[in-house]
Amino acid sequence: MNTFFFSRKILNWYNINKRDLPWRNTRNPYYIWISEVVLQQTRVDQGKQYYLKFIDSFPDISNLATASEDEVLKLWQGLGYYSRARNLHRGAKQIIEQHKGIFPDKYSELLKISGIGPYTAAAIASIAFNNTVAAIDGNVYRVLSRVFEVNDAIDSGAGKKTFEKLANKLIDKNEPGNYNQALMELGALICKPHNPDCKNCPLQNNCLAYKNKTINTLPVKSKKTLIRHRYFYYLIINYEECVYVKQRTENDIWKKLYDFPLIESTKDLPANAITQSADWINIFGQSPATLNHISELVNHQLTHQKIYARFIHLTIKNEKYLPANFIKINKRDIFGLAVPKIIENYLTKVSFAE
Ligand code: SF4
């Protein structure tokens, strides 16, 4: 298909059908950056709330750069993929320090900012600064693979190159920002992963997958995602009016968020296996704990992991021998900390600290 007709068809469709979203009324690169990062792996209706909350709290880049990391994470709480928030924060500081607070206006310069990868750099560069560079997200891979019946795996290096070449050949030179958004919008609203709405698709007459009935086989992926199952036994250690929390510092899920001290296993354990484990003895060997209650198993699905958790309520009489990295806080203060969603949900359910 002629590239001019391809982009024209998509842009015409977009002008009539695009959703009215807050970041579509601006060319401010900071706002576009926030919206792009918030929307990664997030539904638009949920992302919209977080976007509005975020720019309300940090209306410009210097507000974000001077905030504390805890403040940024607290605002991000519940959205998941917390590295996105930490990278935004780092990136904002970098723009203040290295670019005097002025957003770089070239794709290649944007790529040098912490946490800005090819997709986000292309989105900001094209929408805010009219750079002719294709932004390729999952929606774009899907639409292009189907229209042009590309069988290269989208998660392989060679496949990525094929799509990058194709996408940059098709991009509209006059309206690259609108074109990128239009293609993504078409993927989100019409060319969906399952049951695409082909009868309302502006590309139907040109779509090879539609013609050859190969829609359900595209896009191709080479790797199967393995889900890791993890069991967390959270210890809610009560001492007078206080409980203990830990900040997650390892390179693991929820880094820099706070949670309760925990014992982890690869399978569900009975109570006696927990209280006889080496981890338990390490914590309570010298300051015995009274076990008050163990919750039902609750679970939380992440992209590549499934977390199962039980909350074990305990009381101790002597805090002297608890590990030094346990942080003692008043029970009520936990609501001011950024905690994983699974903890937030549990605390709300049991009316914690009331
Ligand atoms: S015709 Fe169907 S499969 Fe092809 S691009 Fe449109 S929605 Fe997707």
At 303 the pLDDT is 84
φ/ψ of residue 246, rounded to 5: -135, 150
At 181 the pLDDT is 97
Select from 166, 200, 207 the residue to mutate for testing ligand 1; criterion: most ligand atoms less than 8 Å from CB: 207
At 225 the pLDDT is 76
Q: Whose CA is nearest to atom 4 of ligand 1?
A: 207
> Any idea which residues carry the catalytic annotation?
36
φ/ψ of residue 36, rounded to 5: -65, -40
| Cis peptide bond N-terminal to 193, omega within 30 | no
Angle at 298 between CA 292 and CA 299, to 5 degrees: 150
Neighbours of 267 (CB within 10 A): 9
Q: What is the mean pLDDT of residues 14-35?
A: 96
At 351 the pLDDT is 83
Q: Whose CA is nearest to atom 1 of ligand 1?
A: 204
Given a cut of 70, whether residue 240 has pLDDT beyond it is yes
Q: What value does the mean pLDDT of the chain take? A: 94
Q: What is the mean pLDDT of residues 216-236?
A: 92
Distance between CA 14 and CA 11 in Å, rounded? 5
Q: Does the global pTM surpass 0.75? A: yes
Q: Which of 172, 245, 134 is nearest to 9 (CA)?
A: 172
Percent of the chain's residues with pLDDT above 70? 99
Please tell me the distance between residue 207's alpha carbon and the centre of ligand 1 in angstroms.
Answer: 6
Output the six-digit token pair for 142: 């899907």
Neighbours of 306 (CB within 10 A): 13
CB 188 less than 6 A from any atom of ligand 1: no
Distance from the Cα of residue 71 to its chain's centroid: 17
Please tell me the distance between residue 187's alpha carbon and the centre of ligand 1 in angstroms.
Answer: 9
CB 219 less than 6 A from any atom of ligand 1: no
Please tell me the distance between residue 145's alpha carbon and the centre of ligand 1 in angstroms.
Answer: 10
Please tell me the distance between residue 142's alpha carbon and the centre of ligand 1 in angstroms.
Answer: 9
- Per DSSP, helices labelled H in 133-277 are 138-147, 157-170, 176-189, 208-212, 271-275
Residues 6+ positions from 132 with CB-CB distance below 8 Å: 126, 168, 171, 173, 176
Select from 142, 190, 212 the residue to mutate for testing ligand 1; criterion: most ligand atoms less than 8 Å from CB: 190
Residue 333: pLDDT band (50, 70, 90) is very high
Q: What is the mean pLDDT of residues 326-330?
A: 96
Residue 2: pLDDT band (50, 70, 90) is low
What architecture is the 3-217 domain classified under in CATH? Orthogonal Bundle (1.10)
Give Cα separations from 312 to 160, 280, 296 (angstroms).
Answer: 46, 12, 10
Distance between CA 333 and CA 330 in Å, rounded? 5
- Give residue for tokens 């163990």: 294
Residues 6+ positions from 308 with CB-CB distance below 8 Å: 229, 230, 231, 232, 268, 297, 298, 299
CB 189 less than 6 A from any atom of ligand 1: no
Given a cut of 80, whether residue 128 has pLDDT beyond it is yes
Map out the domains of the chain as residue ranges: 3-217, 228-349
CB 146 less than 6 A from any atom of ligand 1: yes
CB 147 less than 6 A from any atom of ligand 1: yes
Please tell me the distance between residue 143's alpha carbon and the centre of ligand 1 in angstroms.
Answer: 7
Q: Which of 129, 111, 74, 102 is nearest to 338 (CA)?
A: 74
Please tell me the distance between residue 169's alpha carbon and the centre of ligand 1 in angstroms.
Answer: 19
What is the bridge-based pairing of β-strands 262-265 and 242-247? unpaired
Atom of ligand 1 nearest to the CA of 143: 5
What architecture is the 228-349 domain classified under in CATH? Alpha-Beta Complex (3.90)
Atom of ligand 1 nearest to the CA of 198: 2
Residue 4: pLDDT band (50, 70, 90) is low
